[in-house]
Structure 1
Amino acid sequence: MAARPAPSDQERRARATLSSIVEPGDAVIGRRLLSTTASALLEVISGRTAPGPDDLSSARLASYRARLRAVDPGAGLERVEARGGRFIIPGDCEWPSQLDDLGDTRPIGLWVRGTGSLRLLALRSVAVVGARACSAYGAHVAGELSAQLAERGWVIVSGAAYGIDAAAHRGALAAGGITVAVLACGVDVAYPPGNTQLIRNIAEQGILLSELPPGEHPTRARFVLRNRVIAALTRGTVVVEAAMRSGALSTARRARDLNRHTMGVAGPVTSELSAGVHALIRSGAATLVTDAGEVGELIGSIGDDLAPVRSGPVLPRDLLEPAAAQVLDAVPAGADGAPVERLARRTGLSTDEVLQRLYELGSLGHVERSGAHWRLPRSR
């Protein structure tokens, strides 16, 4: 099959312009771009082409045109290139095809800073999200979980916010892994300000990406809308801590709607910060996970990312043969112990076999002889 031609510079420039006048997740524009080019759509918005009878409404067109008049079409591309970034669009080799699952709300394009191919990195990625005002427990779990996943070759995706997001990014970076931050602002804007150094580190050791052009600042709606990109980009989403009205739950819901794995980490039942996660798990909308092995088993390759089998410690008496264990259970706990004949009656075994087993148990330190009686060692 012949390779599809790369998008033209004209189409890239048109989509960059559209991203400056359209809010992320605009389904009306998204539907139009499924049947026409961005260049043709801009002709309609600018008024150079008359809209059709079933085209954009006059009110919507007026809104887009007002924004278009304030946009310098090439400014965003020049600004991101000056920061060592790029603008990728559907059809590019680097475009993650899983974003197409968003349908009408698929991003018009993505502004990207950082090295490496976003498409390849996203193939083995997992989102780790949660509360901004997290507890020390939540920050610890998010950091440890992300570090463990990074050591297993997973790319950690989050939103660069305070709390769980920041802990997840830091955990991946500390383990020498790759992390991707999906921003609700331009890739040249450090938000929140307290995470400025973290965001710089991500740009150097991972990838920053956004639907919004350089220079754009976040709004409440943009935070919610970027969550759909986090959910679609990754193989699954882990919610570490989230209250009942946490924005992280919207990421989990979008992941579930997109048939991605949704996972949750349990916290103290007395913590409001874990109430939302517990509700997800209890309703069956999320799978309980406790470490990177369990996450990898859910979202990894069949047979290749299995979690270790959980078991308690093996005690010495667990290794005893059934007859020896039966005799040991029959030895009374009192200091007097019991003679061989009494133990034979209790176990239903012959006196010869009981005696043999008692000496075996004695050599292992499980019993001791006191005259004609056998008893448990006094140190017990």
Structure 2
Amino acid sequence: MAGAYLSRVAEPASVPLWMFVQRHGYLTAAAAIRAGDVPAEVASCTEARRTAADPEADLAAAQRNGIRLLTPADEDWPHFAFAALQATARRRVAQWQAGVRARPERGELIPPLALWVRGAGELSAVGFRSVAVVGSRAATAYGEHIASEFSYGLAQRGVVVVSGGAYGIDAAAHRGALAAGGCSVLVSAGGLDRPYPSGHRHLYDRTAEQGLLVSERPPGSAPHRQRFLSRNRLIAALGAATLVVEAAHRSGALNSAGYARDLGRPVLAVPGPVTSAMSAGCHRLIQRDEEPARLVTSVAEVLAYCGSAEVEMDAGGPAAGRPPAAGGPAAASGPAAWQHAYDSLDVVARSVLDGFPGRRRSVTEAELSRLSGQPISQVIAALPVLQGLGLITAAREGYRLASVAS
């Protein structure tokens, strides 16, 4: 109930609200906001809706439409995909506390407080082998062909295709992945009961059957401009890499690419005809002096940035949207791979891993919190990341360090 209330009471990606919830927890924060007993900066972003927000109505509407609510305490929360968001949020909080309060025009790069989800896929597994495919709504036939063909080839190889459900490149990407029988994730800027554009209702339904619909906004919410900009950070975070297929100079796809770059994720771009205004944004990304996008011209080149290993097919199609097998890549590949995985962790995840007493002993979340010195909420968030990388394994008594192949 608290998660539903918090997702309604303020617009997405509010730094003061996110800080307040992290400090006090969901239940206490929600109660304080409803009572109006909050700091001025929190009141500023919640006052307009604090008494009008109706989480019971939102949850009832969600149930009618087959939508479920997720918070970081749920098993299906994408902790692995959002680990980079957690890291950027900590840096933003430090800036905020130092007095840097101006909100960037494109929005804040912080995790969502809750997500509304519809579909058969597993959101917790997204981010292991996934690509965000973005581009212009006013796409050319060339752009739609490339987006469809690349997404089809990626989905065939078990890669989850993430996009925003808009006309043009987004729609071509979703349809390509679905045609391959793969998993696609559609991240909407509005409520999942209000497909946008309305002409994509069938695409929403097909995506829910094979993958997932995701939104930060509760049912009934309209897709306002700022919500599109905030939505783009989720698309970038859910992709292990972001592929820009076609984009004009001021395309919203460049916003997604900027988020991906800030998250430390690879940005890939498909070149187009030099005479095409719809490829000007891609060419600009490739020509950047600092952190230029990687030029890609084939599915194989994209795979090099999001995991090139083939994934087995089963009766349900590609095993997309599922986490790596038990043991994980680090445990299976030896000390060098283990060190590479360790080096990829943020400071908190490393601290949690360092808290493990040894490979012969299992520990619970509470014990690991004490050993690592990290809050229990941070331990719970870090464990799926460590398990997905093969650094730890689940045991009957809790978790233990994974055995490393020699």
TM-score tier, shorter chain, comes to: 0.7 to 0.9
Partners of 1:256 and 1:285 within 8 A in 2: no
- SS of the residue 1:74 aligns to: helix
Please state how far the C-alpha of 1:121 moved relative to its aligned partner. 3.5
The 8 Å contact of residues 239 and 263 in structure 1, kept in 2 or not, is answered as yes
Aligned to 2:197: 192
Partner of 2:275: 270
- What displacement does 1:63 show? 5.3
Displacement after TM superposition at 1:46 (Å): 2.0
- Per-residue displacement from partner, 1:186-219 (whole Å, max 9, x unpaired)? 1111110121211111111211000000110101
Please name the residue that 1:209 is paired with.
214
1:32 aligned to 20, 29, 35, which one?
20
Query: 1:291: which partner in 2?
Result: 298
Q: Which has the larger radius of gyration?
A: 1
Q: Distance in 2 between matches of 1:127 and 1:62?
A: 33
Amino acid at match of 1:101: A
Query: Which residue in the other structure is 1:332 paired with?
Result: none
C-alpha change, 1:158 and 1:208, in structure 2 (3 Å) is: same
Provide the aligned length of Structure 1 versus Structure 2. Answer: 285
SS across alignment from 1:122: coil
Of 60, 66, 84 in structure 2, the residue corresponding to residue 101 of structure 1 is 84
Corresponding position of 1:253: 258
Q: How far does residue 62 in structure 1 lie from its aligned partner after superposition? A: 5.7
SS at match of 2:31: helix
TM-score (norm 1): 0.72
For residues 224 and 66 of structure 1, what CA distance do their matches in structure 2 show? Answer: 21
- 2:54 matches 1:66: no
1:56 aligns with 2:40: yes
CA contact (8 A) 2:121 2:210 kept: no
The counterpart of 2:65, out of the listed 61, 83, 89, is 83
Q: CA deviation at 1:100?
A: 4.0
Q: Which runs of 5+ in 2 are unaligned?
A: 90-109, 311-406
1:232 equivalent in alignment to 2:237: yes
User: Which of 142, 152, 156 is matched with 1:147 structurally?
Assistant: 152
TM-score of the two chains, using structure 2 as the length reference:
0.68
User: Which stretch shifts more, 278-287 or 210-219?
Assistant: 278-287
- Give ranges in structure 1 of 5+ residues lacking alignment: 1-12, 306-380
Alignment partners' CA distance in 2, 1:81 and 1:125: 28
| Alignment-derived partner of residue 8 in structure 2 | 20
Percent of aligned pairs with the same amino acid: 48
| Correspondence for 1:47 among 14, 23, 35 | 35
How big is the shift at 1:246? 0.4
What is the root-mean-square deviation in Å for CA atoms of aligned residues?
1.5
Equivalent residue letter for 1:143: S
| Amino acid in the other structure paired with 2:40 | L
1:76, 1:239 → 2: CA distance? 34
Q: Looking at both structures, which has the greater relative contact order when contacts are Cα pairs under 8 Å and sequence separation is at least 6?
A: 2
